[in-house]
Amino acid sequence: MSNKLIYSVVKSISVLAAMTVASVGFTQDKYPSKPITFIMAVEAGADGDVLGRPLMDRVARILGQPITVINKPGAGSSIGYREIHQAKPDGYTLGWASATIITNKLQGVSPIDYNNFTHLGAFATFFPILIGSNKSNLKFNTIQEAIAYSKANPGKVNLATAGVGQSWWVGAQTFLTGTNLSMASIPVTGAGANVALLVAGGHAEVGVAGLASSKALLDGGQVRFLAALSENRAPPPYDKLPTVKELGYPVSWESTNIIIGPAGMPKDIAAKIALAVEQAAKEPEFIKFAQERDARPDYIAPEKIIPTMDKRREVVKEIMAKAGLLKESN
């Protein structure tokens, strides 16, 4: 083979290699270049779904590609979490998570938790509140009254909660442990709405439920807002009522809505998505939307999510150990 031919072949290979590198770089720079799938690990119409969809509409607009939301509920959201975890970490499958990403592994429901994902930002928080009945024989006007009576009469106050191991049940146990109270706990099948109905009917003096699921009964006067179990006060018009933590008790529980992706996502792609999530979560229209649905807009940067979840995990782990529910999967 002549030197001229060798030179020609080498030059062709070099040009092809350069084109390939340029093509790869162009593809990465163009992310996203196709539609994105978003796994919603709760049923359509659930609190997380109601907030997650409009957020992802905004993220899609910012990224310039449509985002298709697919609901994958079941087993405390573990079905959806598993699908997100098993997806290719290329930025084209994202998903939603809540406090169950902590509780599932501790209960042995799932072998994965928040440490097994790429975190892209948290955008809003739901939190439980303590409500009092206006129909029961024993009525409390304030949380201070309920605490004082329960201390003087252990086991005499009925406390309605969501099902054992669920997020609002954890909130109730956090309240009892932090205040050192003994109440007769009544687990209710289903979500916080059923708790609110039980309290409204006078079958329990107090209950732990979500603000959104209690709002109609609060507005109708069947139940009374006693206190929030959140880190900060509830949004108006309930912001004049205290948190239990403000009263000097180490009590708080919240369920943060988080955007996640599979572990091992490229840093540049993750950073681009995270920036879009931050921009969407801070839009005034989205903040107003969240507040109108009794959620607290609560943006948390990706690097702060694991430390936040670590603190909540310790609370849940202790509660589940005391209740005999701790069975963390390996």
Angle at alpha carbon of residue 264, lines to 276 and 329, rounded to 5°: 110
The answer on pLDDT for 312 being more than 80 is yes
Average of per-residue pLDDT across 289-303: 90
Q: Which pLDDT score is estimated for 192?
A: 66
User: In Å, how far from its chain's centre is CA 235?
Assistant: 18
102 lies in the same domain as 194: no
**Burial grade of 314 (CB within 10 A; 0-12, 13-18, 19 or more):** exposed
The answer on pLDDT for 206 being more than 50 is yes
64 lies in the same domain as 98: yes
Q: What are the CA-CA distances from residue 325 to residues 19, 106, 194, 255, 311 (Å)?
A: 58, 8, 23, 20, 19
Q: Which pLDDT score is estimated for 188?
A: 81
142 lies in the same domain as 162: yes
In a domain, 329, yes or no: no
Average of per-residue pLDDT across 169-174: 89
In a domain, 117, yes or no: yes
Which of 24-28, 96-100, 141-145 comes out lowest in average pLDDT? 24-28
Q: Residue 209 in 3-state DSSP?
A: strand
43 lies in the same domain as 104: yes
Q: Residue 116 in 3-state DSSP?
A: helix
Average of per-residue pLDDT across 290-316: 91
Average of per-residue pLDDT across 61-72: 97
Half-sphere exposure for 180 (CA within 13 Å, toward CB): 4
Q: What are the CA-CA distances from residue 173 to residues 163, 188, 199, 202 (Å)?
A: 12, 14, 17, 21
pLDDT band (50, 70, 90) for residue 302:
very high
Q: Which pLDDT score is estimated for 24?
A: 43
Asked if the peptide bond before residue 237 counts as cis, ω within 30 degrees of 0, the response is yes
Half-sphere exposure for 177 (CA within 13 Å, toward CB): 19
What the block records as the tokens of 83 is 């699908």
* CB contact at 8 A, 192 and 214: yes
Q: Which pLDDT score is estimated for 59?
A: 98
Of 105, 93, 162, the closest CA to residue 128 belongs to 162
In a domain, 272, yes or no: yes
122 lies in the same domain as 184: no
What the block records as the tokens of 90 is 């290329």
- The domain total for the chain is 3
157 lies in the same domain as 260: no
Q: Which pLDDT score is estimated for 2?
A: 53
In a domain, 260, yes or no: yes
Last residue within a domain, chosen from 220, 247, 274 = 247
Q: Residue 4 in 3-state DSSP?
A: helix
Average of per-residue pLDDT across 88-107: 94
Of 196, 202, 86, the closest CA to residue 137 belongs to 202
In a domain, 330, yes or no: no
* CB contact at 8 A, 37 and 110: no
Q: Which pLDDT score is estimated for 16?
A: 47
pTM of the model: 0.76
The answer on pLDDT for 6 being more than 80 is no
Last residue within a domain, chosen from 247, 268, 300 = 247
Q: Which pLDDT score is estimated for 20?
A: 47
pLDDT band (50, 70, 90) for residue 124:
very high
Residues contacting 103, CB < 8 A, separation 6+: 76, 109, 165, 166, 167, 170, 316, 320
The answer on pLDDT for 205 being more than 60 is yes
In a domain, 327, yes or no: no
From CA 52, how far away is CA 290, in angstroms rounded? 10
From CA 317, how far away is CA 327, in angstroms rounded? 10
Average of per-residue pLDDT across 112-118: 97
143 lies in the same domain as 160: yes
pLDDT band (50, 70, 90) for residue 64:
very high
From CA 43, how far away is CA 7, in angstroms rounded? 63
The answer on pLDDT for 207 being more than 70 is yes
115 lies in the same domain as 259: yes
Q: Which residues of 105-123 are buried (b: 16+ CB within 10 A; e: fewer)?
A: bbbebbebbbebbbbbbbb
Average of per-residue pLDDT across 176-184: 93
196 lies in the same domain as 136: yes
Q: Which pLDDT score is estimated for 4?
A: 53
CATH classification of the domain holding 49: 3.40.190.150
292 lies in the same domain as 265: yes
* CB contact at 8 A, 99 and 308: no
From CA 134, how far away is CA 140, in angstroms rounded? 8
Strand-pairing partners, residue 188, are 162
In a domain, 208, yes or no: yes
128-133 and 206-210 as β-strands: parallel, antiparallel, unpaired? antiparallel
Domain that holds residue 41: 31-126+255-322
Average of per-residue pLDDT across 253-272: 96
* CB contact at 8 A, 159 and 125: no
- Mean pLDDT, the chain, whole residue set: 88
149 lies in the same domain as 102: no
Last residue within a domain, chosen from 247, 278, 293 = 247
| 5 vs 215, higher pLDDT | 215
In a domain, 328, yes or no: no
16 lies in the same domain as 40: no
